């Protein structure tokens, strides 16, 4: 009897997490998050693109052949290997030749159903995406970011999701950079992720449907030695500024280059959200050792006032 109760208790407390990103399954950031979430007692399945899919947004791409046509990120998986597979010594760490959005679908529709992971359940309690190797500050990066796309893809399936982005922009290979150095930004970010995931599962109810979180971490540790434990700051996505993706002409190469500029030119009008909160990019750009936490929704409809105005204008 006691054993049965203990077994039930452990079943209930073991929450399952799908961990993904857009910088590939071998990035230091995702491996540090995997290590720490697993250590914290979560049942974690890491399934992420075999190679960089940054800025692919929500594009849905799946393998068109049984094997990889080119090497994966950092040559860790070679061309000719199967289009999906796992670490030899850990069947909870998978690559998939797809995008962040298709990694979510692959995991839920195929991997968990096929029982290829013998000791994992068939459902996911939370999708954690990232931490990305670069901030994803909205509104500029909502549709562009593969990290955020994995989160909104999960929300469409009714699965709660949190996207995390860091300030360490180096595309680093875990075999080079995964260590126990307390100043390693990947380690600080992983600790913070466990803290927020604990808070999520500690809450008595899940988030309302369609609701996700977007988190941006400031420069920490080796990037800023006076910021080791960035505090959580509740923010909103929209302010008056936007990271605008533009182009500029480079006369030496005679090619266009991506030109990302911060412009502060959105009419300051708060239609949605808690208007008393500060925008995540404003808080982030102060570099005051704060991790921004913004709540987003995948309900795209304009609000009732906006809809009504348009309806009247069109005479419907
Ligand atoms: C950036 O990542 C590469 C690839 O893992 C690594 O060789 C290099 O040392 C890293 N650079 C820094 C400054 O961490
Ligand atoms: C989660 O709840 C436990 C038990 O009440 C508590 O010890 C822990 O500090 C909480 N963690 C967070 C991150 O809120
Ligand atoms: C580094 O952290 C300190 C302490 O929080 C902060 O005052 C400073 O602005 C930060 N600098 C950067 C570049 O993040």
| Model pLDDT for residues 185-197, shown as the tens digit of each residue | 999 999 999 999 9
CA distances 287 to 5, 181, 311, Å, are: 48, 23, 43
**197 alpha carbon to ligand 2 midpoint, in Å?**
10
pLDDT of 125 strictly over 80 = yes
Distance (Å, rounded) from C-alpha 37 to C-alpha 85?
A: 21
What is the structure's pLDDT at 262?
A: 87
Q: What is the mean pLDDT of residues 210-235?
A: 98
* Cα 202 to ligand 2 centroid, rounded to whole Å: 6
Q: What is the number of the ligand 2 atom nearest to the C-alpha of 201?
A: 1
Ligand nearest to the CA of 230: 3
Place of tokens 């102060």: 286
Judged against a pLDDT cut of 50, whether residue 12 lies above it is answered with no
pLDDT over 60 at 6, yes or no: no
- Distance between CA atoms of 305 and 290, rounded to whole angstroms? 35
- Give 236's strand partners: 279
Q: Give 181 Cα–ligand 1 centroid separation in angstroms.
A: 15
Beta carbons within 10 angstroms of residue 128's beta carbon:
30
What the block records as the tokens of 53 is 């899919």
Taking residues 274-282, what's their average pLDDT? 94
Q: Which atom of ligand 2 is nearest to the CA of 198?
A: 13
What gap in Å lies between CA 58 and CA 99, rounded to an integer?
Answer: 8
pLDDT at position 72: 98
Q: Could you give phi then psi for residue 48, rounded to 5 degrees?
A: -145, 165
């Amino acid at each position: 009897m006691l054993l049965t109760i203990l077994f039930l208790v452990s079943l209930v407390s073991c929450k399952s997490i799908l961990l993904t990103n857009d910088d590939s399954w071998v990035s230091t950031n995702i491996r540090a998050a995997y290590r720490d979430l697993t250590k914290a007692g979560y049942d974690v399945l890491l399934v992420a693109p075999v190679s960089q899919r940054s800025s692919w947004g929500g594009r849905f791409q799946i393998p068109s052949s049984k094997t990889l046509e080119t090497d994966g990120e950092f040559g860790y998986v070679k061309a000719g290997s199967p289009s999906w597979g796992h670490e030899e010594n850990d069947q909870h760490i998978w690559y998939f030749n797809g995008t962040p959005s298709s990694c979510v679908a692959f995991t839920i529709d195929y991997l968990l159903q096929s029982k290829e992971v013998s000791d994992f359940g068939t459902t996911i309690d939370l999708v954690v995406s990232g931490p990305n190797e670069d901030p994803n500050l909205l509104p500029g990066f909502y549709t562009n970011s593969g990290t955020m796309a994995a989160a909104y893809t999960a929300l469409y399936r009714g699965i709660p999701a949190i996207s995390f982005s860091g300030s360490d922009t180096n595309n680093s290979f875990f075999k080079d950079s995964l260590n126990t150095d307390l100043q390693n930004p990947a380690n600080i970010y992983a600790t913070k992720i466990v803290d927020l995931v604990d808070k999520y599962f500690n809450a008595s109810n899940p988030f309302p449907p369609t609701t996700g979180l977007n988190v941006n971490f400031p420069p920490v540790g080796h990037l800023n030695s006076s910021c080791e434990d960035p505090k959580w700051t509740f923010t909103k996505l929209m302010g008056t500024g936007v990271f605008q993706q533009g182009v500029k002409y480079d006369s030496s190469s005679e090619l266009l280059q991506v030109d990302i500029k911060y412009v502060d030119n959105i009419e300051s009008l708060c239609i949605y959200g808690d208007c008393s909160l500060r925008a995540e990019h404003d808080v982030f750009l102060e570099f005051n050792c704060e991790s921004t936490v913004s709540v987003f929704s995948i309900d795209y409809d304009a609000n009732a006032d906006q809809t009504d105005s348009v309806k009247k204008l069109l005479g419907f």
